[in-house]
Structure formats: C-alpha cells, structure tokens
Amino acid sequence: MEFNHIYQDLISGKEKLTLVGLGYVGMPIAVEFAKHVKVIGFDINEKRINEYANGIDATNEVGDAIKNTTVEFTADPTRLKESKFIIVAVPTPINDDTTPDLRPVEGASRIVGQNLTAGSIVVFESTVYPGVTEDICVPIIEKESGLKCGVDWKIGYSPERINPGDHVHTLTGICKIVSGMDEESAREIKKVYDIVIKAGTFPVSDIKTAEAVKVVENSQRDINIAFMNEIAMICDRMHIDTDEVLAGMNTKWNALGFKPGLVGGHCIGIDPYYLTNAAEKLGYHSQIILNGRKVNDSMGAFVADAAIKQMIEAGLAPKKARVVILGITFKENCPDTRNSKVVDIINRLKEYEINPVVTDDWADVEIAKHEYGVDVIPFKDIPKADCVIVAVGHNEYRSMSMMQLKDLFKAEVLDEEKVLIDVKSLYRMDELKASGMRFWRL
C-alpha cells in the first residue's frame, strides 16, 4: 500500500486531517492547518468542544480566530474514519511518584485504533520518552484496528514545541522536528507539516530520536533554571540581590540569560521525569537531571518560608496575618494552571496554619478548585492584606505602580510592616526601596 499521495490528497481537498486532543497544543495546530486543508478537531471533552463550536477559546491560544475557523469540532470518535492523516496531541502528565502517566496517550491510541482506516498515517505529538510511540502506542492501535503497522498504516512522531501564552514564538515560527517509521512516511509527514510551519521542518533519522529531542531540550532548560534557583538561594543567604547579579553576568557574550523561578507547567516540570524514568529502566540513575528537579520542586516552599521570615521581621504574627497571593497559573499571561508551583507556596503556608487568599483573573476558577482545592477570587474582591505575594508575572501585576501595590494592604499597617514578596522580580529595586515597604524578591 502506498502512502505518498496523502499530502496531495490533503491539498486537493480529497482527504481530511484530524487532530485528536484540542488543548493548548492541539487547538493551534488544528486552526492553522484549517487555513490550508480540511480539518476535523476531536476531543473527548464535550464541554470544550461546545465552547469551540460557539467561538469560545478557553485556552486563549488562538483568540478570535476560533470564531472564523473551518475546523469541524466533534466529540464523536467515529469522525476519525473520514481522515487519512491523524495527529495525536493529548497530555502526558506524571503520577504522584513522578513516573510517567501514559493513560491519556494510551486512551487516544485506543480511540485511533477503533476508528483507523487502511492507508492512514498517524503522528503523535505528545511528549513521551523514547520508545513509547512504537512500543506502546503501535501495539494498541494494531490490536484495536486489526491493521498491521507498516503494511496497512504508518506511524510518525513530531514533538510539540508550542509555548502556551507566547504570542511571539507561535506554531508557524518554531522549527518542527519530524520523523517517520521509514523513509516514505517521514517524507510524507514532512510535506504535510511544511504546509503550515514557516520556520521549516527538521527531519531526524527515526522516531526514538525525535522523542528524545523533546525530553532532552526541556531537561536542559530545567537544569539551567535549577542552577539559577540555587544561585538565588545562595544570594539570599548572602543578602545580595540575585537580579542585579544576573544583570551583570548577562553583559558577557556567552551568558545564557536564564532566571530563577517557579518551574511548573506541562513541559519543563514534567518532561525530565520521562527521560530519567526511561534511563532508570536501562540501569542508569540520573546524576544531574533529578537533582535539578529536586531544586526546582523545592522553590515554592522556599518562597513561602521567605514570606514567613519577612512577616516575623516586620513584627507580624504570621498565623494572624492576611496573606494575598497574586497569580496561580504556571506562567504569565496564560490561563494554564497545569502543574502550577504556586500551589506549593499555598500548601507550605497552610503548614503554618495560614490560609492565603488567592486571585488570578486569568485562571479557570473551576479547574483550580477541582485540581488543587483552591478558591480563586476576582482581583476586585480581594481583601486588604498584611503580606502580598506576587507569584506570577501577568501584565496586570507587572504594570502596577508602588501606590497601587500599597493600596492592596490594610490602611492601618505602616509601610515598614507591609510585606511584599516579588517572586518574579517584576518591580524596580530603586522603587521598592523608595516605597518604604518591607520587600523580598527571588
């Protein structure tokens, strides 16, 4: 069976392309491809499908484009039978013990298998460790479909590189890694992605290599941020401003420009565990990657402890103090709360019997409550505080003046007793000092 006609059939409108999984990754891909070919967008979340069909993009990744897209949104898996090119972009989280949770990708594989037609190419974009696509997904699809991989259908892998909330480095402007099980599938997959990827595609020799690219690139970032976080903890003990140290360091041509921070989200805080878990199965125990994870996973508690210390030094009784946290999403200007490390700050404060007030007008209130048990209230409704922790760098928080920040505190609290924790170093040092407030920043 030949597969070298799929690209041409898509371009001519003879065949359709299907996206399985319409979250922060799948939605932008579906909308972009729909500008050029016929696209079916499938997701098991009927609520999400109904929102998309009504022009509502809860991910905020495509904005108003959702209202005019030609994507055929559906929660009916049998619609996959209409397609010969299927892209799977479902989440790959971790379990509580940091082992990979492959249930979403296994479930997607079953759905694809149950609705696969002969002559199709299936491409996975979900982040996995090397071997998952061929050793776990392929057998499931073969069992459910009764079709033989390499004979009746073919498999490929192209790791997603979308950065949620980033409207500069978007899908079309990021080079795309592509791979296939053989030369024919790799060539056809590259041609299909080249339809939308203006930055170009980068073919690698096999699927396992492509899988490794994704987990390695995010592990590298995780390790670099861990180093910055360790530097921040050292500078804190030395009473040196980390931000000023890094600003000086970055004047050198070969500085990498990383900053300390809370490392959450669906990629950097998770992908390294996929790599180290696979390595451990082969008898290798990570010396660097897991230590980087240990440092980064400790930062929420470190920030909370710093807030407690600052409150005590300000003469406040932490248990009686009102703490307000600005932001709960895992990054700025994005509604994504997956693996948010702000939750670690909240949980640490609760160990001190402090129940902070949390606000974030970007976040999905229902998800925050369901996933973390956190009640997120509108910014306009937050009570006056003794301590304010600015945990996320949303533009709304970044643009606040010192007077606006002071207005968040109780009127009867003296400036020197107002405790401001600036996790992202959003505010200028000279303005913080001139404000008279007690401040701390990572």
Catalytic residue IDs: 267
Q: Is 359 exposed, middle or buried (0-12, 13-18, 19+ CB in 10 A)?
A: buried
**For residues 80 and 108, what is the distance between their CA atoms, to the nearest angstrom?**
12
**For residues 26 and 162, what is the distance between their CA atoms, to the nearest angstrom?**
9
For the chain, what is the radius of gyration of the CA atoms? 24
Give the single-character DSSP code of 136: I
Give me the long-range contacts of 162-167 (CB less than 8 A, separation at least 24). 162/24, 162/25, 162/28, 162/29, 162/61, 164/24, 164/59, 164/61, 164/265, 164/266, 164/331, 164/334, 164/336, 165/60, 165/331, 165/332, 165/333, 165/334, 165/336
What is the Cβ-side half-sphere exposure of residue 338, based on CA atoms within 13 angstroms?
Answer: 15
Which residue reads 């948010």 in tokens? 340
Residues 6 or more apart from 98 whose CB is under 8 A from it?
A: 273, 277, 293
Q: Quick one: angle between helices 289-297 and 299-313, nearest 10?
A: 30
Torsion (CA) 110, 112, 117, 123 in degrees, nearest 10: -130
Helix (H), strand (E) at residue 255: none
Residue-wise over 371-383: b if at least 16 C-beta within 10 A, else e?
ebebebeeeeebe
Measuring CA to CA, which residue among 123, 287, 248 is closest to residue 190? 123
Q: Are 401 and 437 in contact (CB under 8 A)?
A: no
In this structure, the strands spanning 357-359 and 376-377 are: parallel
Joined tokens for residue 439 = 């401040």
> DSSP characters for 370-422?
HHH---EE-GGGPPPBSEEEE-S--HHHHT--HHHHHTTB-TTS-GGG-EEEE
Neighbours of 82 (CB within 10 A): 15
Q: Are 136 and 149 in contact (CB under 8 A)?
A: no
